[in-house]
Amino acid sequence: MPLKLDARDPSFQAAFDRLVVSRRAESENLRAAVAEILARVRTEGDRALIELTRRFDRVELSPASVRIPNEALAQARDGLDRELRAALELAAERIHAFHARQMPADLDYEDALGVRLGLRWQPIQAVGLYVPGGTAAYPSSVLMNAIPAKVAGCRRLVMTVPTPEGKVNEAVLAAAAIAGVDEVYRIGGAQAIAALAFGTETIAAVDKIVGPGNQWVAEAKRQVFGQVGIDTIAGPSEVVVVADHSADPNWIAADLLAQAEHDEQAQAILITDDGQLAAAVAEAVAQQLAELERAAVARASWEAHGAIILLPTLEDAPALVDRLAPEHLQLCVRDPAALAARIRCAGAIFLGHHTPEVIGDYVGGPNHVLPTGRSARFASGLSVFDFLTRTTLLGCSETALRALAPAAIALARAEGLGAHARSVALRLGARQ
């Protein structure tokens, strides 16, 4: 049974505290195994990549067959079911339009002292995109990760996708063609992350790696950070739904289960001030579970990690939401905008009864790659900013330097850095 909390219970605060800090993914220690894979690919290149792919994915590759030709991507797009292709193209169009509006402007001005100051944005040159393969294949994630990189102006976008036992997901390849991915390789796991980070004879290294994956992929990304940039270390997916008496319990139940069916570690939480709604949602969840294709996964998630929280008033909801800092937040209330204005920590907020989180997964426009595990307290969803670097510019005339020099010299001396002081003083003709 899911956890049920009532704010009027004296033990509520302690129970809620336990919910906030509970860990839903107690991963085994993969550090040594992943480190060995990374080291092998770094030193042995293609040979290690091919041997590891044979072992883990049961696919026999050669350096010539590691890459999936761009012609195959175009064929997958052209041969895709018409309705599915139209859906992917609509999603791509909306994702592109939203992210294009995020592009920042450069900064260049001169202050009162005559100092030139500026900030210049530039795209990361080469980006790697990891895409899960096999049964966990998500063409929507291809679009969400690739399109912001393309909008930012990245020149080379490289995708890796495992093809276990040679099985290729045509929708994933079609999405790669629609998003404009430049290179696609049929490799996965920690070895794919190693190839992207270090390069092999066949795959040139990239500057940053993005995209979801299993625990091996997450650990590999953690270990290569510094050699390359990464987006985040993603945890299990999560949603918090805040609902009042105006909500439809069947809709809310479906929204909770849409998150729970991701995997057994996913988490779905309902916060409401209506006891009748809470009971009706719990009953609707039980009924809908019997109809789901992924009922076993959703049931395990709901029973182990789900929660229904009853409050005296939704005025108290923002404080609880901020502590949970959820990946997704649905506000199924009569005035969602007013409630959203009081919330600081959420990866994405979905406003009103007719905005289920699922729309954000696919065709809303904002990115569905979002901070998990309470990291919305300090992190944000994927955007064009993840594919840009910023460089500051500073230029002093002789007059401006003379105006700034005394303070710079004083600070350098205070820090005991004589060469710093001399660097400035010599330009003034002063002896140090």
- The Cα–Cα gap between 158 and 74 comes to 16
What does the chain come to in residues?
A: 432
Mean pLDDT, all residues of the chain = 95
Which position among 238, 327, 357, 368 bears the catalytic label?
A: 327
Which position among 264, 328, 357, 368 bears the catalytic label?
A: 328
Topology of domain 3-25+235-364, CATH = Rossmann fold (3.40.50)
Domains 31-230 and 396-428 share a fold: no
Q: How many CB atoms lie within 10 A of CB 177?
A: 21
Per-residue pLDDT reduced to its tens digit, 86-120 = 999 999 999 999 999 999 999 999 999 999 999 99
Q: How many CB atoms lie within 10 A of CB 85?
A: 18
Per-residue pLDDT reduced to its tens digit, 297-346 = 999 999 999 999 999 999 999 999 999 999 999 999 999 999 999 999 99
Cα 196 to the chain's mean position, in Å?
A: 18
Query: Per-residue confidence at 430, pLDDT binned at 50, 70, 90?
Result: low
Per-residue pLDDT reduced to its tens digit, 232-244 = 988 889 999 999 9
Q: What pLDDT sits at residue 404?
A: 97
User: What is the pTM assigned to this prediction?
Assistant: 0.93
What value does the CA radius of gyration of the chain take, rounded to a whole number of Å?
26
Token pair 């809303």: residue: 364
Q: What pLDDT sits at residue 30?
A: 83
Topology of domain 31-230, CATH = Rossmann fold (3.40.50)
So where are the chain's domains? Answer: 3-25+235-364, 31-230, 396-428
Residue 327 a catalytic site member: yes
Q: What pLDDT sits at residue 21?
A: 87
Q: What pLDDT sits at residue 431?
A: 61
Q: What pLDDT sits at residue 13?
A: 94
- The Cα–Cα gap between 209 and 224 comes to 9
User: Is the pLDDT score of 405 beyond 70?
Assistant: yes
**E-assigned strand segments in 145-235:** 156-160, 183-185, 208-210, 229-230
CB 68 within 8 A of CB 186: yes
User: Is the pLDDT score of 41 beyond 70?
Assistant: yes
The better pLDDT of the pair 274, 26 is held by 274
Q: What sign does the dihedral 323-324-328-331 (CA atoms) show?
A: negative
Q: What pLDDT sits at residue 29?
A: 72
CATH number of 396-428: 1.20.5.1300
User: Is the pLDDT score of 432 beyond 60?
Assistant: no
What average pLDDT does range 1-5 have in this prediction?
90
Question: Which amino acid, 396?
Answer: C
User: Is the pLDDT score of 23 beyond 70?
Assistant: no
Partner residues linked to 330 by β-bridges: 241, 350
| Per-residue tokens: 132 | 């899960």
Query: Per-residue confidence at 134, pLDDT binned at 50, 70, 90?
Result: low
Token pair 């609880």: residue: 320
Residue 328 a catalytic site member: yes
- The Cα–Cα gap between 396 and 116 comes to 6
